[in-house]
Amino acid sequence: MPEVGIIMGSQSDWPTLEKAAVQLTELEVDHETRIVSAHRTPDRLWSYGTEAASRGIKVIIAGAGGAAHLPGMIASKTTLPVIGVPIQTRALQGIDSLYSIVQMPRGYPVGTMAIGGAENAALYAAQILALGDPALAQRLMDWRSALTASIPESPE
Interacting residue ranges for ligand C2R, rule: CB under 6 A: 9-10, 12-13, 37-40, 64-70, 87
Q: How far is the CB of 35 from ligand C2R (least distance, A)?
A: 9
Nearest to ligand C2R of 3, 13 (CB atom): 13
DSSP letter string, the chain: --SEEEEES-GGGHHHHHHHHHHHHHTT--EEEEE--TTT-HHHHHHHHHHTGGGT--EEEEEEESS--HHHHHHTT--S-EEEEEEP-TTTTTHHHHHHHH-PPTT---EE--TT-HHHHHHHHHHHHHTT-HHHHHHHHHHHHHHHHTS-SS--
Nearest to ligand C2R of 46, 143 (CB atom): 46
Q: How far is the CB of 70 from ligand C2R (least distance, A)?
A: 4
Q: How far is the CB of 76 from ligand C2R (least distance, A)?
A: 12
Nearest to ligand C2R of 83, 136 (CB atom): 83
Q: How far is the CB of 142 from ligand C2R (least distance, A)?
A: 33
Q: How far is the CB of 61 from ligand C2R (least distance, A)?
A: 13
Nearest to ligand C2R of 10, 33 (CB atom): 10
CA-to-CA distance for 61 and 111, rounded, in angstroms?
A: 9
Nearest to ligand C2R of 12, 145 (CB atom): 12
